[in-house]
Protein backbone atom coordinates (compact mmCIF):
# COMPACT_ATOMS: atom_id res chain seq x y z
CA UNK A 1 0.00 0.00 0.00
CA UNK A 2 1.29 3.46 -0.88
CA UNK A 3 2.22 5.81 1.92
CA UNK A 4 -0.26 8.48 0.78
CA UNK A 5 -3.07 5.92 0.63
CA UNK A 6 -2.25 4.78 4.17
CA UNK A 7 -2.13 8.39 5.39
CA UNK A 8 -5.52 9.03 3.79
CA UNK A 9 -7.05 5.94 5.40
CA UNK A 10 -5.66 6.88 8.81
CA UNK A 11 -7.10 10.40 8.45
CA UNK A 12 -10.52 9.05 7.43
CA UNK A 13 -10.58 6.66 10.38
CA UNK A 14 -9.47 9.51 12.70
CA UNK A 15 -12.36 11.63 11.41
CA UNK A 16 -14.94 8.85 11.90
CA UNK A 17 -13.52 8.00 15.33
CA UNK A 18 -13.53 11.63 16.48
CA UNK A 19 -17.10 12.11 15.24
CA UNK A 20 -18.14 8.97 17.15
CA UNK A 21 -16.41 10.19 20.32
CA UNK A 22 -18.16 13.54 20.00
CA UNK A 23 -21.62 12.06 19.41
CA UNK A 24 -21.30 9.65 22.34
CA UNK A 25 -19.99 12.49 24.51
CA UNK A 26 -23.05 14.60 23.69
CA UNK A 27 -25.31 11.61 24.35
CA UNK A 28 -23.67 11.07 27.75
CA UNK A 29 -23.92 14.76 28.54
CA UNK A 30 -27.41 15.60 27.30
CA UNK A 31 -29.45 12.54 26.25
CA UNK A 32 -28.81 9.65 28.64
CA UNK A 33 -30.00 10.53 32.18
CA UNK A 34 -27.45 10.92 34.97
CA UNK A 35 -27.80 10.00 38.61
CA UNK A 36 -30.40 7.58 39.94
CA UNK A 37 -32.83 7.92 37.03
CA UNK A 38 -34.54 4.68 36.05
CA UNK A 39 -34.08 5.00 32.27
CA UNK A 40 -30.31 5.14 31.95
CA UNK A 41 -30.46 3.05 28.79
CA UNK A 42 -30.15 4.25 25.20
CA UNK A 43 -30.40 1.91 22.20
CA UNK A 44 -30.26 -1.04 24.57
CA UNK A 45 -26.99 -0.02 26.23
CA UNK A 46 -26.59 1.29 29.77
CA UNK A 47 -24.95 4.67 30.41
CA UNK A 48 -21.81 2.94 31.72
CA UNK A 49 -21.54 0.81 28.58
CA UNK A 50 -21.70 3.99 26.48
CA UNK A 51 -18.97 5.41 28.72
CA UNK A 52 -16.79 2.36 28.06
CA UNK A 53 -17.31 2.67 24.31
CA UNK A 54 -16.39 6.36 24.61
CA UNK A 55 -13.20 5.41 26.49
CA UNK A 56 -12.14 2.74 23.99
CA UNK A 57 -12.79 5.02 21.03
CA UNK A 58 -10.68 7.69 22.76
CA UNK A 59 -7.80 5.26 23.31
CA UNK A 60 -8.06 4.16 19.68
CA UNK A 61 -7.95 7.84 18.70
CA UNK A 62 -4.65 8.25 20.58
CA UNK A 63 -3.15 5.31 18.69
CA UNK A 64 -4.34 6.75 15.37
CA UNK A 65 -3.02 10.17 16.35
CA UNK A 66 0.42 8.67 17.00
CA UNK A 67 0.47 7.16 13.50
CA UNK A 68 -0.82 10.41 11.98
CA UNK A 69 1.99 12.39 13.62
CA UNK A 70 4.54 9.71 12.69
CA UNK A 71 3.60 9.77 9.00
CA UNK A 72 3.63 13.59 8.94
CA UNK A 73 6.82 14.08 10.97
CA UNK A 74 8.81 15.42 7.98
CA UNK A 75 6.24 18.15 7.42
CA UNK A 76 6.22 18.93 11.15
CA UNK A 77 10.02 19.14 11.25
CA UNK A 78 10.28 21.25 8.11
CA UNK A 79 7.55 23.64 9.23
CA UNK A 80 9.15 23.96 12.66
CA UNK A 81 12.52 24.73 11.06
CA UNK A 82 10.90 27.39 8.89
CA UNK A 83 9.07 29.08 11.78
CA UNK A 84 11.55 28.68 14.64
CA UNK A 85 14.93 28.53 12.91
CA UNK A 86 17.80 26.69 14.54
CA UNK A 87 15.98 26.24 17.85
CA UNK A 88 13.17 24.22 16.29
CA UNK A 89 14.01 21.05 18.26
CA UNK A 90 13.99 22.96 21.53
CA UNK A 91 10.61 24.49 20.66
CA UNK A 92 9.08 21.09 19.79
CA UNK A 93 10.41 19.56 23.00
CA UNK A 94 9.10 22.57 24.92
CA UNK A 95 5.61 22.23 23.39
CA UNK A 96 5.61 18.50 24.15
CA UNK A 97 6.82 18.90 27.73
CA UNK A 98 4.40 21.77 28.34
CA UNK A 99 1.43 19.78 27.11
CA UNK A 100 2.43 16.75 29.19
CA UNK A 101 2.73 19.03 32.23
CA UNK A 102 -0.75 20.48 31.59
CA UNK A 103 -2.24 16.98 31.31
CA UNK A 104 -0.41 15.82 34.45
CA UNK A 105 -1.59 18.82 36.48
CA UNK A 106 -5.17 18.33 35.23
CA UNK A 107 -4.97 14.67 36.22
CA UNK A 108 -3.79 15.59 39.73
CA UNK A 109 -6.46 18.26 40.16
CA UNK A 110 -9.29 16.00 39.06
Domain match, 53 and 82 both: no
- DSSP 3-state assignment of 45? strand
Per-residue pLDDT of the chain (110 residues; tens, 9 = 90+): 898 899 999 999 999 999 999 999 999 988 887 777 667 878 888 888 999 999 999 999 999 999 999 999 999 999 999 999 999 999 999 999 999 999 999 999 98
Range of the domain at 23: 1-71
Domain match, 53 and 80 both: no
Domain match, 66 and 38 both: yes
**Domain count of the fold of the chain:** 2
Domain match, 45 and 57 both: yes
Q: How far apart are CA 27 and CA 34, in angstroms?
A: 11
Q: How many CB atoms lie within 10 A of CB 72?
A: 14
Domain match, 45 and 91 both: no
Backbone angles phi, psi at 36, to 5 degrees: -95, 25
Domain match, 67 and 80 both: no
Domain match, 66 and 79 both: no
Amino acid sequence: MKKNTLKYLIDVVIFVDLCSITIIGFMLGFVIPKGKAAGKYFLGLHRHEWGEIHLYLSLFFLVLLFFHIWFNRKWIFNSSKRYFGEKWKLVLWGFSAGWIAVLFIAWIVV
